[in-house]
A and B are shown apart, each in its own frame.
Chain A
Amino acid sequence: EAGVVQSPRYKIIEKKQPVAFWCNPISGHNTLYWYLQNLGQGPELLIRYENEEAVDDSQLPKDRFSAERLKGVDSTLKIQPAELGDSAVYLCASSEVVTGELFFGEGSRLTVL
């Protein structure tokens, strides 16, 4: 069974440019999470989806970040415009109802120059 797939794995952009990250969760997982992980720190929740509904986006900087999960499957996280402080790893995770265990993707490492 395929795990959580994210792309791109690495992205280098100049500040003020836009960037988008894509996530394909494990089949059948209704809950999808986007986390931000800075170097040496724990994952910080940006947004959580239950199916296609964003049920917790309180930590998402809405002035520059946006996310969508069309048809309750794949999700896209966008940053526009990117700032130097956005350099981090963006982790996508999914979980199913019974156990609630989070399965993470490999992450998308963003470097903003």
Chain B
Amino acid sequence: DQQVKQNSPSLSVQEGRISILNCDYTNSMFDYFLWYKKYPAEGPTFLISISSIKDKNEDGRFTVFLNKSAKHLSLHIVPSQPGDSAVYFCAASALNTDKLIFGTGTRLQVFP
């Protein structure tokens, strides 16, 4: 079941620069998308979400972009900080369902 894909298993970015994490999905019924950050042996921490009626949502250093025609979303972190180093998961949910489908995650490392 590969409905949500994160094709980059890892990303390395210098502190202060922009981090761009990508996510693709296949199910056109998805209408809500979320990004979670996860440290080892901890639960996913909610970062930001976007509804399918929008194409952009911003919260501080985090911006999520949604391109419905391409079935693609991305998370921009700017400026990146060393504390942002973690695994980032995108997740999606569809109309009339209550479950999140997660991607496989991208490990972000922000170095000084």
Q: Tell whether A pairs with B.
A: no
B-side residues, CB < 8 A to A, are none
A-side residues, CB < 8 A to B, are none
